Structure formats: C-alpha cells, structure tokens
C-alpha cells in the first residue's frame, strides 16, 4: 500500500528539533501550510498506531498462556493500544481526509 509506506517514511524523517527549527523559520505563515502539516501528522499517527497494534497483537499471540492475566505488562499494552485506537483521531473521518488529500481531492479543513 503506497499510503502506508509514505506514512511510515514521513513519520520517521525529521527529528523533533528539526521540526521545531523548521516551524521557527516559517514563523506565522499561511494557515494552509499548517493544515497540510496537520494532515501529515494525522497520517503518521494513523500509520504508527496501526503498526504498534500489529506488534502488540503479534507479541500477545506468541506469548505464553500467563499473558492473559491482568497484571501482565503485555496485557496492559494490549488494552492501552485498543483504548488509544478508540480515540476520535482514529475515526474513518480522518482516514477519508488523508485519502482525499493523497488523491488531490478537495477536503474540509474544519475537521482539523
């Protein structure tokens, strides 16, 4: 899936200090740029959250039977990932926003 590869690439490219420096240079430029950056951040978050979910499920599946107990750290991670994916930022509305942007279609910026 090209969107997933692109999202992973964007998620790992700039470090926090690089993003901060770039933001400081940009100053208070147009809101369009901020909306574009927000969509890139949403796409990176979507990609990373799904990758984290897959990794935790993989670890849970291949762990021993004791992993089902609530006191086990892996059980906690699994619950945290599932709860995090229920957040409003991971709804189909945001996925459609990302898809429309990638296809070059008009999209509503009020959702951001």
- The confidence score (pLDDT) of residue 72 equals 85
- The confidence score (pLDDT) of residue 54 equals 93
Displacement of CA 60 from its chain's centroid (Å): 21
Taking only the tens place, the pLDDT of each residue in 48-77 is 888 999 999 999 888 888 888 878 888 888
Question: What residues does each domain of the chain span?
Answer: 2-111
Q: What is the rounded CA–CA span in Å between residue 95 and residue 107?
A: 12
- The confidence score (pLDDT) of residue 42 equals 82
Taking only the tens place, the pLDDT of each residue in 12-47 is 666 666 766 666 665 555 455 677 787 888 888 888
Give the residue among 16, 98, 106 at the shortest CA–CA distance from 49.
Answer: 98
């Amino acid at each position: 899936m090209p969107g997933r590869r692109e999202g992973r690439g964007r998620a790992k490219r700039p470090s926090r200090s690089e993003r901060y420096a770039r933001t400081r240079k940009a100053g208070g430029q147009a809101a369009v740029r901020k909306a574009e950056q927000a969509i890139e951040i949403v796409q990176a978050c979507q990609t990373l959250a799904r990758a984290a979910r897959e990794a935790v499920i993989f670890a849970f599946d291949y762990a021993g039977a004791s992993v089902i107990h609530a006191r086990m750290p892996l059980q906690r991670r699994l619950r945290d990932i599932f709860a995090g994916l229920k957040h409003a930022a991971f709804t189909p509305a945001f996925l459609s926003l990302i898809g429309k942007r990638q296809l070059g279609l008009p999209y509503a910026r009020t959702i951001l």
